[in-house]
A = this chain, B = another copy of it.
Amino acid sequence: MVRILHIGLGPLGRRVLADFVARRMGTVAAAVDLAPDIAGRSVEAVVPGAGGAVVARDIEELGDLAAIDCALVTTSSGLEACADTFRALLARGVDVVSSCEELSYPWLRHRVLAQELHERAVRGGARIVGTGVNPGFVMDTLPVFLSGVCNEVRRIDVWRIQDASTRRIPFQRKIGAGLDPTAFAAAAAEGTLRHVGLGESLHLVANALGFQLDAWDEQLEPVLADRELECGLGRIARGHAAGVRQVAEGRADGACVVRLVFQAAIGQPEPHDRVRIDGDPPLDVVLKNGVHGDIATSAVLLNTIAALRAAAPGLHTTVTLRPAHSRAGSSGS
């Protein structure tokens, strides 16, 4: 049984807490959320079964955190937005599992902050890691794990091809479903359509496998509807965007060594995840229908608690921890 502090009770945070309760993993000892309609209420009112802790506005409002085994932080994709929360938790010696996408490989965009967090974690005797289904599993940890059977890896390709028809409306909006090509291009330029974390996944893989990247880039384009489609946002005209396709490539000595293709679109046929390793031996691994994003992100966060607690203090990635596997009954030990 594990005692957690949960920070961030948005849609993902509520899902994680609900799964934590359903899995009978332990106790919600404290919770934090800024939203005026949540702060001050009991966690029970937000997630039935989560117990009577009152949602604080700020970590500083909480009392002694010595009894907390782990903090779950599901607030923001950006590392800078989460940094003060992480600093406060690490200073108090609290382990942190976060869905913050940039934390999955923080050295890519925040090298100095990553070093600072690592030093704070070591000083506080605490551990911190960023994870989820993607980044955190399908396009980074999984290919690194699979490379374990290879004597040599020349190149890794990963595809995550999703049918967004059955996903939540915010997800359908995030991939630009229904936008005409001009509106899609404008939204893409604003950066609102981007799946956050593809660059982090790319660099986690390259770093683990010892590829010295001398260049990398990320391309984004619409997946255009080849017929009229329906989705939670309404009708999508033929020729308008059904979704998004993002491709990240890393090159070493001029050759592509890691290539990640993320595609999510309404009506996408044959959704799947796939890892192909050009190596010795070669590997071609297909996850039929792919891994469901909403369920799996919550599962990965919860399964990571025990793996993180078994690790040495410091800033971790998913590949410096033992596998974050499922466990029947309580999963916190």
Q: Are B209 and A303 in contact (CB under 8 A)?
A: no
Of listed A302, A303, A321, A323, residue having the most chain B CB within 10 A: A323
* CA of A152 to CA of B326, assembled, Å: 7
Please pick, from B148, B281, B291, the residue contacting A281 in the complex, using a CB distance under 8 A: B291
Q: Are B328 and A149 in contact (CB under 8 A)?
A: no
Q: Which residues 108-159 of A have a CB within 8 angstroms of B?
A: 133, 137, 141-142, 144-145, 147-153
Specify how many copies of this chain sit in the oligomer. 2
**Interface residues, chain A, CB within 8 Å of chain B?**
19, 22-23, 133, 137, 141-142, 144-145, 147-153, 208-211, 279-281, 283-289, 291-292, 295-296, 298-300, 302-304, 310, 319-329, 331
* CA of A149 to CA of B302, assembled, Å: 9
Q: Are A23 and B151 in contact (CB under 8 A)?
A: yes
Q: Residue on B with the closest CB to A323?
A: B145
5 contacts between A and B (CB under 8 A): A23-B151, A150-B296, A151-B295, A152-B326, A280-B299
Q: Are B279 and A326 in contact (CB under 8 A)?
A: yes
List chain B residues, Cβ under 8 A from A292. 281
Q: Residue on B with the closest CB to A212?
A: B328
If A281-B295, A284-B289, A286-B285 touch, does A151 touch B302 (CB 8 Å cutoff)?
Answer: yes
If A145-B145, A291-B281 touch, does A328 touch B211 (CB 8 Å cutoff)?
Answer: yes
